[in-house]
Chains A and B, each alone.
Chain A
Amino acid sequence: MSGVWHALADPWTQSIMRHAFAEVVLLGVTGGALGCWIVFYNLSYSAESLAHSLLPGLVVAALLGLPLLIGGAAGVLLAAIAVAVAGRAPEIGRDTAVAVVVTALFGLGVLLALSPTAPPGLQGLLFGDVLGASDTDLVLAAALAVVVLIMLRLLHARLLVVGFDRLNARALGVSALGVDVGLLTLLAVALLVAVQGLGNLLVVAVLIAPAAAARVVARRMGSLMALSSTIAIAAGVGGLYLSYYAKTAAGASIAGILVATYVVLVGLHAATTGARSAPDGRAYSRPSSASRRSSKRRSASSWTRVSARR
């Protein structure tokens, strides 16, 4: 028994691990809660794009010795403008424009970060360095957690209105544009802070995977956010244990446990509910415009019934 206790307590005797613990708890709370809205607003792809497009800004800031926050912010701004411009080109389409811009920016960032002349440590921007969390990082992560949680609580009712019934938000007295801008701003700020601890490639895992896993089980937004944050923290701490004992990379261990949690929950849910899981299948995509069209067509069958009921 004391052996188990020792194994559990041993990692935390090191100050590096205690810092990492605080970092994954703070980012887990933030990412878990915010991620629920990202998932239900179908912004997962945007989140990933945003994270990747941060990279060249971060790398340039690191090369010039500027604060990473400034570099990342400039990177997001550049990406937003590039996407807006590319999206205006005819015959491209929004998704393609985003993909082109993000891939180009990400490639540029990788090129800069992995060039032989680049100072060591820049790979950390790609893969993250949870174990290198400094006091400044922790203060930033704590501030982020406070801001995001307060804003999510204030905006909760309006986020629900727009997420549930975007078309009629205006009639309900809510500006869908205002809510979108608020949510995307929170997302951008969260990415800026979290990317330094978790890395460019793994930060999205903490935003998307806990919420995706939690929605399999939770039936209300409140419990969903609580469960999602819990999953994110548990996976973070679990990943640190795994990394400590199996000598694996910390960020990758955390992401691996997150994805494994998702797979296990989906599997358990499918096994326990059987046939009932079918309606949930459509939960992962907004009804496509094609299916909306077909439902319109159904009601417009060639025989439009005028006096059907009696």
Chain B
Amino acid sequence: MTLPPEPGEGAVAPARELGQALVSAEGLAAGYGGRPVLTGVSFSLQAGERAAVLGPNGGGKTTLFRCILGEIEALAGTLEAPERCGVVPQTERSRLDFPVSALDVALMGTVAALPWWRRPGRGERARARDALATVGLAEVADTSFGELSGGQRQRVLVARALVQDARLVLLDEPFTGLDSTSAERLEALLATLAREGRAILVATHDVEQARRWELVLCLNRRQVAFGVPAEILTLPTLERTYGGAIVELPEGGGRGVLPPHHHHPKR
């Protein structure tokens, strides 16, 4: 268990080469009914970069994603994002009862490119099967989505984003509920997607994982920090991000956050 390195200590952050941003925000504020729940967001992401979006629940991660997807308007500032992004929602919220196979779900990524009266045809099916093969699920293509494991479902939804050929992919807490093998597979997959020249935004609670990626965006109703992990992931920044004290969990459980509203922690 290593403490977060202080600034200037540990690995030196590689300098970011400035290129064409796939998504960029400047002074962005977003919210519902004209009331901002997230303010002061300024960041940019280029092809090949993975960014972890850290923050407590209610900190604005989902609001930022909805704004990038165009579901809610920016209340202030500017946001430039592709018209259509790949989106990998939380699998625990997807419908497990829906009568579709993994292939059917991957095929949903082809619909945007078709006129409304067209159904996906043979070419689209081939692309969907390719995408399932890329995420390592070729052999369960014809299995019902609801019968797959949590990690497999997550990868099917990644395949759907691949079929869309989205340059920017948003993942909402994709590692929640995955066992370590599934989590490693998914992380390797994200690395592959980045190498292919996609930009990837991942809402996550796992700071150690964020450390392995190119960028970190910390949100707590406003932007707390944005930059390379070595500079951002310090104890003070994390405390400001989670609005509480970072504490050592008992029995080597790693480090946890004690939220300020929590008055009577069980020991």
Cα–Cα distance between A163 and B145 once the two chains are bound (Å): 14
Q: How far does the Cβ of A166 sit from chain B's closest Cβ, in whole Å?
A: 9
Whether A2 is near chain B, meaning CB under 8 Å from some CB there, is: no
- A160 near B97 with CB under 8 A, answer no
Cα–Cα distance between A310 and B183 once the two chains are bound (Å): 12
- Write out the residue numbers on chain B whose beta carbons fall within 8 Å of the beta carbon of A307: 1, 206-208, 254-255
- A306 near B262 with CB under 8 A, answer no
Contacting residue for A300 out of B57, B85, B116, B119, CB 8 A? B57
Given contacts A172-B111, A306-B238, contact A164 B95 (CB under 8 A): yes
Whether B24 is near chain A, meaning CB under 8 Å from some CB there, is: no
- A287 near B242 with CB under 8 A, answer no
- A220 near B109 with CB under 8 A, answer no
Chain A, residue nearest B56 (CB): A304
Q: Chain B 209-241, CB within 8 Å of chain A: the 1/0 string? A: 100000000000000000000000000001000
Q: Chain B 156-167, CB within 8 Å of chain A: the 1/0 string? A: 000010001000
Contacting residue for A305 out of B57, B112, B253, CB 8 A? B253
Q: How far does the Cβ of B208 sit from chain A's closest Cβ, in whole Å?
A: 5
- B111 near A158 with CB under 8 A, answer yes
Contacting residue for B108 out of A165, A167, A300, A306, CB 8 A? A165
- A173 near B246 with CB under 8 A, answer no
Interface stretch (choices B86-94, B131-139, B188-196): B86-94
Whether B185 is near chain A, meaning CB under 8 Å from some CB there, is: no
Given contacts A170-B71, A224-B99, A283-B97, contact A302 B111 (CB under 8 A): no
- Write out the residue numbers on chain A whose beta carbons fall within 8 Å of the beta carbon of B183: 309
| Contacts of A141-182 to chain B: CB distance below 8 A | 153-158, 160-161, 163-165, 167-168, 170-174
Contacting residue for B57 out of A220, A283, A299, CB 8 A? A299
Q: How far does the Cβ of A168 sit from chain B's closest Cβ, in whole Å?
A: 5
- Write out the residue numbers on chain A whose beta carbons fall within 8 Å of the beta carbon of B254: 305-310
Whether A52 is near chain B, meaning CB under 8 Å from some CB there, is: no
Residue of A221, A223, A296, A309 with highest tally of chain B CB at under 10 A: A309
Q: How far does the Cβ of B150 sit from chain A's closest Cβ, in whole Å?
A: 13
- Write out the residue numbers on chain A whose beta carbons fall within 8 Å of the beta carbon of B146: 279
Given contacts A157-B120, A302-B265, A305-B205, contact A172 B242 (CB under 8 A): no
Cα–Cα distance between A252 and B58 once the two chains are bound (Å): 53
Chain A, residue nearest B160 (CB): A172
Q: How far does the Cβ of A215 sit from chain B's closest Cβ, in whole Å?
A: 7
Contacting residue for A306 out of B105, B110, B117, B255, CB 8 A? B255
- B262 near A302 with CB under 8 A, answer yes
Given contacts A305-B249, A307-B206, A309-B206, contact A221 B99 (CB under 8 A): yes
Cα–Cα distance between A42 and B217 once the two chains are bound (Å): 38
| Contacts of B52-79 to chain A: CB distance below 8 A | 56-58, 69-71
Cα–Cα distance between A172 and B163 once the two chains are bound (Å): 10
Q: How far does the Cβ of A278 sit from chain B's closest Cβ, in whole Å?
A: 12
Q: Chain B 174-206, CB within 8 Å of chain A: the 1/0 string? A: 001000100100000000000000000000011
Given contacts A174-B112, A305-B253, contact A282 B208 (CB under 8 A): no
- B206 near A172 with CB under 8 A, answer no
- Write out the residue numbers on chain A whose beta carbons fall within 8 Å of the beta carbon of B207: 306-307
- Write out the residue numbers on chain B whose beta carbons fall within 8 Å of the beta carbon of A295: 92-93
Whether A186 is near chain B, meaning CB under 8 Å from some CB there, is: no
- Write out the residue numbers on chain B whose beta carbons fall within 8 Å of the beta carbon of A163: 95, 98
Cα–Cα distance between A233 and B152 once the two chains are bound (Å): 38
Whether B15 is near chain A, meaning CB under 8 Å from some CB there, is: no
Q: How far does the Cβ of A42 sit from chain B's closest Cβ, in whole Å?
A: 11
Q: How far does the Cβ of B148 sit from chain A's closest Cβ, in whole Å?
A: 13
Given contacts A157-B119, A170-B71, A292-B93, contact A310 B208 (CB under 8 A): yes
Given contacts A161-B108, A164-B108, contact A304 B69 (CB under 8 A): no
Interchain Cβ contacts under 8 Å between A and B, 12 examples: A153-B119, A167-B93, A170-B71, A221-B99, A295-B93, A304-B242, A305-B254, A306-B206, A306-B207, A306-B246, A306-B254, A309-B180
A: residues with CB less than 8 A from B are 40, 153-158, 160-161, 163-165, 167-168, 170-174, 215, 218-221, 223-224, 279-280, 282-283, 286-287, 292, 295-296, 299-300, 302-310
**A306-B238, A306-B254 known, 4 other contacts, Cβ within 8 Å:** A155-B116, A163-B95, A172-B160, A304-B242
Question: 6 closest pairs, A vs B, by CB?
Answer: A173-B112, A283-B97, A300-B57, A307-B254, A304-B257, A171-B87
